[in-house]
């Protein structure tokens, strides 16, 4: 009986998450809430004359301008100028406006000025000291708010993990948050040529309070002179904005319909200063892989369906497509699921997360650039995080 209940819970959670992004209640518009981190007396990080609050706002305004060109997108800003908005209010702006997704933009900084690269966070618990340090730094701004101790009762800014114990997990939006985060990191890596530090989970207050798929982007380290200069430049801001916009348009196309406009994203010269900072250890989430070996595709019979099964989602469509190779650029072993009005087409299946990354590379090489890994347990979609943990 117990297992039936949890099974049902997973089904409901998945349906909720999908309906959130795909619902067309917002006057047929896809609502994106954009959050430029910090503002006014809260400067965020500041190094070499580069000020985080200014860079965040510049990127957000450029990103918003790109998104607004699509009449089916409605952009909501938490701030459009140099003002101080409390963390909980940023999330509430997204909640009140029934945003389909929430994107918070920040810049990273480290005493070690060699550190560089982009990383994107989704809400969750982290055991990694480096991820917790980033969350702690970003959450600390609540100390500038009046009555923060009453307002954020139960939360200790010096221990960001206290955020999790104070609440129930918000698992239902995790899949799509990870999907958006992965697309953003993928674009930073492949389209803008930045160092990809991966997708991570950490307890950010601003993400904790928002109830929709949501991510926090650390665009790069302004403490690194080369990366700071890039992020502070018109060109750098423009390309980072386009990379995030492309990821948002792809999410919208998948769950909400519409086209992905072609954005002219320019590759930067990859900053290659000596970087001796240890790589974050909690890279349990999908990171862009570039396997050079020929992908080995497992056969159907090699899959144990009592274990977690990884498949590759190629695309979603509101019309039914026959599951045959010629309809999928020659890829075979196509299956489909019907969810929230969309047929989702999946390629391959394997019990191994490592093997699924090879399948993903194969799908991408066949032109399914925005394909991603979807894990199932007992035929029900589960989060990648959970899947990777249980398949170890």
Site residues (vs Zn ion, CB under 5 A): 37, 44, 106, 138
Report the nearest approach of Zn ion to the CB of residue 38 (Å): 6
CB nearer to Zn ion: give 220 or 271: 220
CB nearer to Zn ion: give 210 or 361: 210
Instruction: Tell me how far CA of residue 276 lies from CA of 226, 273, 280, in angstroms.
Output: 16, 9, 12
CB nearer to Zn ion: give 44 or 348: 44
CB nearer to Zn ion: give 106 or 252: 106
CB nearer to Zn ion: give 44 or 198: 44
Report the nearest approach of Zn ion to the CB of residue 137 (Å): 7
Report the nearest approach of Zn ion to the CB of residue 162 (Å): 20
Report the nearest approach of Zn ion to the CB of residue 216 (Å): 8
The gap from C-alpha 191 to its chain's centroid, in whole angstroms, comes to 16
Q: Which among 344, 390, 340 is positioned nearest to 371, based on CA atoms?
A: 344
CB nearer to Zn ion: give 134 or 314: 134
- Rounded to 10 deg, the angle between the 353-365 and 384-391 helix axes is 130
CB nearer to Zn ion: give 138 or 227: 138
Compute how many other C-beta atoms are within 10 angstroms of the C-beta atom of residue 61. Answer: 16
Report the nearest approach of Zn ion to the CB of residue 82 (Å): 15
Q: Give the CA angle between residues 163, 164, 168 to the nearest 5°.
A: 125
Determine the residue with CB nearest Zn ion: 106
CB nearer to Zn ion: give 45 or 373: 45
CB nearer to Zn ion: give 133 or 337: 133
């Amino acid at each position: 009986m117990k297992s039936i209940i949890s099974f049902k819970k997973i089904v409901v959670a998945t349906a909720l998450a999908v309906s959130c992004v795909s619902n067309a209640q917002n006057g047929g518009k896809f609502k994106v809430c954009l959050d430029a981190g910090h503002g006014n007396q809260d400067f965020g990080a500041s190094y070499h004359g580069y000020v985080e609050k200014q860079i965040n706002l510049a990127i957000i305004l450029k990103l918003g301008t790109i998104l607004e060109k699509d009449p089916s997108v409605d952009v909501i800003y938490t701030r459009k100028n140099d003002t101080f908005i409390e963390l909980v209010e940023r999330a509430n702006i997204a909640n009140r406006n029934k945003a389909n997704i929430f994107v918070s933009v920040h810049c990273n900084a480290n005493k070690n000025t060699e550190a560089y690269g982009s990383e994107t966070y989704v809400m969750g618990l982290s055991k990694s000291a480096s991820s917790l340090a980033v969350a702690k730094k970003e959450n600390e701004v609540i100390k500038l708010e009046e009555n923060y101790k009453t307002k954020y009762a139960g939360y200790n800014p010096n221990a960001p993990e206290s955020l999790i114990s104070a609440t129930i997990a918000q698992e239902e939006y995790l899949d799509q948050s990870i999907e958006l985060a992965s697309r953003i990191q993928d674009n930073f890596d492949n389209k803008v040529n930045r160092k990809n530090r991966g997708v991570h989970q950490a307890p950010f207050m601003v993400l904790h309070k928002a109830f929709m798929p949501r991510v926090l982007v650390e665009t790069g380290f302004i403490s690194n002179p080369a990366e700071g200069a890039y992020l502070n430049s018109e060109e750098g801001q423009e390309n980072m904005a386009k990379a995030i916009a492309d990821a948002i348009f792809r999410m919208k196309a998948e769950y909400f319909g519409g086209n992905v406009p072609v954005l002219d994203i320019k590759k930067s010269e990859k900053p290659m200063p000596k970087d001796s900072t240890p790589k974050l250890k909690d890279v349990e989430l999908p990171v862009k892989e570039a396997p050079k070996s020929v992908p080995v595709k497992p056969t159907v019979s090699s899959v144990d369906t009592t274990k977690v099964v990884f498949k590759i989602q190629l695309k979603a469509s509101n019309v039914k497509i026959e599951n045959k190779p010629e309809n999928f650029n020659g890829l075979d072993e196509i299956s489909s699921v019907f969810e929230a009005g969309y047929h989702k087409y999946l390629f391959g299946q394997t019990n191994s997360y490592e093997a699924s990354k090879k399948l993903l590379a194969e799908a991408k090489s066949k032109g399914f650039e925005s394909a991603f890994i979807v894990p199932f347990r007992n035929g029900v979609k589960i989060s990648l995080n959970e899947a990777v943990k249980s398949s170890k």
